[in-house]
Structure 1
Amino acid sequence: MSIAHSLGERIAAFTAADLPDEALRWARIGVIDTIGVTLAGAAEPCARIARTVASPSDGAALVLGSRLRMKPSDAALVNGTAAHALDFDDCSNTLGGHPSAPILPALLALAEENHACGLRFVTAYVAGFETQARIARAVNFHHYDKGWHPTATLGVFGACAASAHLLELDAAHTATALSIAASFASGIKANFGTMTKPLHVGHASRNGLVAALLAREGFNAGDEAFEHRQGFFNVYNGAGHYDADAPLAHWAEPLDIVEPGIAIKQYPCCGSTHPAIDAMLMLVSEYGLTPDQVEAVVSWTHPRRLQHTNRPQPASALDAKFSVQYCVARALAQGRVVLSDFEGDAYADPAIRALMARIVAEPDPQADRQPDHFGAEVVVQLRDGRRVSKRVARAAGRTSANPLPDERIEAKFLDCANHALTPGASRDALGMLWRVDSLQDMTALTALLETGLRH
């Protein structure tokens, strides 16, 4: 039996009864976080351009942050782009990327059109999350290092599986959908720091949904799209650089959304900068550091993460999101890193630029002794001769083992949602999202998100 068909059997057989309480809780958190960052990202240029190109239609699916409605595939493209526009969406250690942004825009659009209940919506979300995580176990981290953007190249399978599940496709049709999606997989890391990175996500969300719809209508595809000598594994990773057994091993034991779980971002920038930000903020808090006290800073990041974050002279707000030098400078200068740091020409602030000149980013010399690649160390040389440092193994909230408290999750949502909604509507939406799995019809949520707009 092919990998696609074996995965199709598992996806089609997955039910709400397979969701432990922990999975339901993490699914709610993933939905809360993704809806919040999508509302905040809806006004970003990349999302506005995608909306213009997609064009409104007579479809049933809401474009978040607006009153426009489109057919589900177009709404998935626009909302998926908005979800990743700020690079503030959740992360996954397994995926090496952002798990929810490719899945939920497709799923929300489809749920709205089909008047699906919240429990079906959440169950499909977890099925999609598990699918992309298991495929990720087969290809990472060679896939990531090779230059693919796993959020997109693997996220398309998550969006496909979730859509197939909500459409109640059987195992054979789900397998076909996954095989179609294998030909849709795309996204290269050379486009990080530009509008094309969030477009990867919108593209993956739309394509995963389209693959499921095509399969439902009888479209066909190859039986061995993953393991064929010219299939996904060999073409995208190369012989000897994947584990074809991994997608099927230990399916849902435990669910990846539970362990290692979702990483909720505290800062609206590349997750690879977060441990260094945490380390600098700890030093600021512990020693009362100010920029005028600092002679020099060395930020050590795992080489895998430094490849796309060593940007000493960011040339745009998007570029600054991937500059560990810029992010560490902001943390030192103001004791926080917030959305406004990546808006307009904030990246060109002369005081921050002057501070960045004292910050050097280097490969972590202890990288080969670290259990994973999510840590960082910041070393600060002070003008009074002291040298202080802080090492962070993983950024706060990086796994379910060190979660952010609910109040931080809620504060982030409200801050993001208030960019598009009235404060009252943001609070109402938050309350509804905490009980999303109990909603009788997902259109109740989108109706609130539409009527609660500021303008």
Structure 2
Amino acid sequence: MPATGTRTPPRTRTQQLVGSLDAFAYDRLPAPVVRQAKNALYDCLGALMAATSRRYPVMELLEKTAAEAGPGTSRLFGSPLRTNAATAALANGTLAYYCDIESHHPSANVHAIAVVAPAALAVAERQRSSGADVLAATVAGIDVAARVSYALGPAVQYARGFHPTTVAGAFGSTVAAGLLLGLDGERFAEALGLAGTSASGLLSWVDDPTEQSRPLNIGLAAQAGVQAATLAALGMRGPADVFGGKYPFGQAFTGQWDQEALLAGIGERYAVGELFFKRNSCCVFIPAALDGLLDVMRTHDLRPEDIERVAVRAPRSSYHVVDANPLRSHCMQYVLAVAAHRGRVGFADIMTDLRLTDPAIAGLSDRITVAGDAALDERAGALRQSVASVTEVTARTGETYVRDVEHPLGAAENPLPEADLERKFTALTADVLDGERARAVKAAVDGLDGAPDITALTSLLETGTVSRVR
């Protein structure tokens, strides 16, 4: 018993976060949050399975990775291979972000579901976890990934060349894995410490037109979380207060740490309800301008050849990421030119540079400019990342049309109907899932909270044969 007058030491920042995770127990989640978690998981699986198409080179590389790691209990989706949970998280996380069409948390600027869902499913297969537990772990992981990014400042991470999804996402995947492994408070804090020691993620992939290092970043964050939680469960010790201590995490990455942003309103508002569901394969800083351009073209019956120029004002904190980027998925000029001609942008349009074969797309791309506008950042506030754009379209007749889009279709404030999500899933997976299996995946996700074992869902994602693994 403590001596009279002694005081219990205050809980560390990391302990406070771990202690708050009870708020994400499945039976405490509001029904709309559970529904949104199912939508996010379903949408992510569509993007992931699309990437397993043999049209793309990444699947063969990941099969080699899984085979090299050896057999295990967790599936490499789109393949008959199984491997250890950490490698499965690496591979499936890479696939989930490959097509850049899964949901995204705009203001925290994290592709949270692409990191968290592969980690949760890999561990859940090993643990034979229930569907309800997976949903709860997914909600918690998304929340923590977004909160860590807020605490660091997403715009500051970008300014320093860090990718928020990978830096903050490693904590989200650790939380999802740790909940499914049943870590106690002390082990959980140390798992977060271990995750922090491996968290990284540079934006250098913007100079890689192969589109391979970009998604690998997300796979690495998923793997880091599974690995950290697994090591902690086995008894590996780690920093007990990664968010505080002598060398706090935030000081290393951005020079700041907003504890209020990490913990405020936890269990009252949920990041999963703030996701943006994409309709096109492109960086999240592009859809607002894309919606504006297509709306002008529809409203005023403009064809691409009728457009003299397009001037886009994007947030100053991020415009340089999408201005003339050599990575086509992150190039505003390229994506808008393709969308103007085709009405949408699929990943096949990203993998091949259509400007080389279509002079009209190349010509329009050359007539599109992007500039930074600090006023768009100010709308979002100091910590949050804006995805708004102001698009000015000048026709060859001399008339100019302006669209100010703050919330593109698919944003939480302008949601994409669930029927559209199902059509998106069907279109994305047409190469790899027949109609019957695609419908079965939808039914399995819808009924996930009643599933005693996650493998009822994951078995539907095992397809095909291994190709040239050696």
Task: Report if TM-score (shorter chain) is over 0.5.
Answer: yes
State which of 416, 422, 426 in structure 1 corresponds to 2:428.
416
Q: Structure 2 matches for 1:4-15, cutoff 5 A?
A: 4-11=14-21, 14-15=24-25
Is the CA contact 1:152–1:187 (under 8 Å) kept in the aligned structure 2?
A: yes
CA spacing shift, 1:369–1:80, aligned 2, 3 Å: closer
Secondary structure of residue in 2 paired with 1:151:
helix
- Note if contact 2:78-2:463 (Cα within 8 Å) is conserved in structure 1: no
Q: Which of 272, 286, 295 does residue 257 from structure 1 map onto?
A: 272
* 1:385 and 2:376 aligned: no
For 1:420, give the aligned amino acid: V
Residue deviations 1:28-55 (CA, integer Å, cap 9, x gap)? 0110011110101124334432332342
Structure 1 SS opposite 2:313: strand
User: Match for 1:267: what amino acid?
Assistant: N
Aligned to 2:39: 29
Structure 1 residue 454, shift from structure 2 partner:
12
Structure 1 segment 322-401 matched on structure 2, within 5 A = 322-350=330-358, 351-364=360-373, 366-367=375-376, 370-371=379-380, 373-399=386-412, 401=413
Percentage identity across paired residues of the two chains = 29
Output one character per residue of 1:244-281: Cα deviation in whole Å (capped at 9) or x when no partner. 343223212212223xx111111111111110111011
Residues 1:199 and 1:411: Cα distance change in structure 2 (over 3 Å): same
Q: What is the CA-CA distance between 1:329 and the residue it aligns to?
A: 0.8
**Contact persistence 2:291–2:405 (CA under 8 A):** yes
Residue 76 of structure 2: which of 36, 58, 63 is its match?
A: 63
Once the two structures are superposed, residues 170-222 of structure 1 have per-residue CA deviations (whole angstroms, 9 ceiling, x without a partner) of 11111110010001101011223532121111111011001001111111112
Post-superposition shift, 1:136?
2.0
Tell me what 2:123 maps to.
110
2:234 paired residue number: 217
Secondary structure of 1:307's partner? helix
Pair 1:309 & 2:330 matched: no
Does the 8 Å contact 1:23/1:255 carry over to 2? yes
Partners of 1:224 and 1:174 in 2: how far apart? 11
Give the superposition deviation at 1:166: 0.6
Matching of residue 88 in structure 1 with residue 96 in structure 2: no
> CA separation in 1, counterparts of 2:190 and 2:225?
12
Match of 2:249 in 1: 232
Tell me the secondary structure at the aligned position of residue 259 of structure 2.
Answer: coil
Deviation string for 1:370-426 (max 9, x for gaps)?
Answer: 346211122122112211221111211122x32111111111111122232122211
Per-residue Cα deviation, 1:69-99 (whole angstroms, up to 9, x for no partner): 1111111111010111111121113421211
Please, what TM-score do these two structures have when normalized by structure 2? 0.90
For residue 225 of structure 1, what is the amino acid of its counterpart? V
* Contact 2:314–2:372 (Cα < 8 Å) also in 1: yes
2:410 is paired with a residue of what secondary structure? Answer: coil
Alignment of 1:131-280 (within 5 A): 131-141=144-154, 142-192=156-206, 194=208, 195-238=212-255, 241-258=256-273, 261-280=274-293
What residue identity is the alignment partner of 2:36? W
Task: Return the alpha-carbon distance in structure 2 between the equivalents of residues 206 and 188 of structure 1.
Answer: 16
CA distance in 2 between counterparts of 1:97 and 1:453 reads 33
Amino acid at match of 1:359: I
Distance 2:339 2:133 in 1: 41
Tell me which residue corresponds to 1:436. 448
1:16 alignment partner in structure 2: 26
Q: Distance in 2 between matches of 1:60 and 1:87?
A: 27
Aligned to 1:331, the other structure's residue is in SS state helix
Gapped runs of 5+ residues in structure 1?
A: none
- Residues in 1 aligned to 2:139 and 2:117: alpha-carbon distance in whole angstroms: 10
Supply the distance in 1 between the matched residues of 2:236 and 2:350 (Cα, whole angstroms): 43
SS, match of residue 252 in structure 2: helix
Structure 2 runs not aligned, ≥5 long = 1-10
Assess if the C-alpha contact under 8 Å between 2:79 and 2:466 holds in 1.
Answer: no
- Give the TM-score normalised by structure 1: 0.93
CA contact (8 A) 1:12 1:170 kept: no
1:128–1:80: structure 2 CA closer, same or farther, 3 Å change rule?
A: same
Contact between 2:24 and 2:139, CA under 8 Å: does it hold in 1? no
Counterparts of 1:29 and 1:206 in 2: how far apart (Å)?
23
- CA–CA distance in structure 1, aligned partners of residues 365 and 279 of structure 2: 22
The CA deviation at 1:435 is 2.1
Q: Give, in angstroms, the shift of residue 349 of structure 1.
A: 3.2
Q: Residue 135 of structure 1: CA displacement? A: 1.7
Query: Please, what is the CA RMSD of the aligned residues?
Result: 2.0
Partners in 2 of 1:182 and 1:427 — Cα distance? 39
Aligned residue in 1 for 2:6: none
CA–CA distance in structure 2, aligned partners of residues 393 and 355 of structure 1: 24
Cα distance in 2, alignment partners of residues 368 and 188 from structure 1: 22
Q: Is the 8 A contact 1:27 1:122 kept in 2?
A: yes
Distance change >3 Å, CA 403–CA 255, structure 1 → 2 = same
Sort the Cα spacing of 1:224 and 1:422 in 2 relative to 1 into closer, same or farther, 3 A: same
Measured against aligned partners, the alpha-carbon deviations of 1:320-375 in whole angstroms (never above 9, x if no partner) come to 10110011112222222233322334353332112211111222374366346211
* Partner AA of 2:362 in structure 1: R
Q: Which residue pairs with 2:140 in the alignment? A: 127
Aligned mates of 1:357, 1:70 — CA distance in 2? 46
- Name whichever of 73-82 and 325-334 sits farther off: 325-334
Aligned counterpart, 2:64 = 52
Residue 137 of structure 1, CA deviation:
2.3
What is the rounded CA distance, in whole Å, between the counterparts of 2:288 and 2:207 in structure 1? 19
Quote the Cα distance in structure 2 between the aligned partners of 1:247 and 1:377: 31
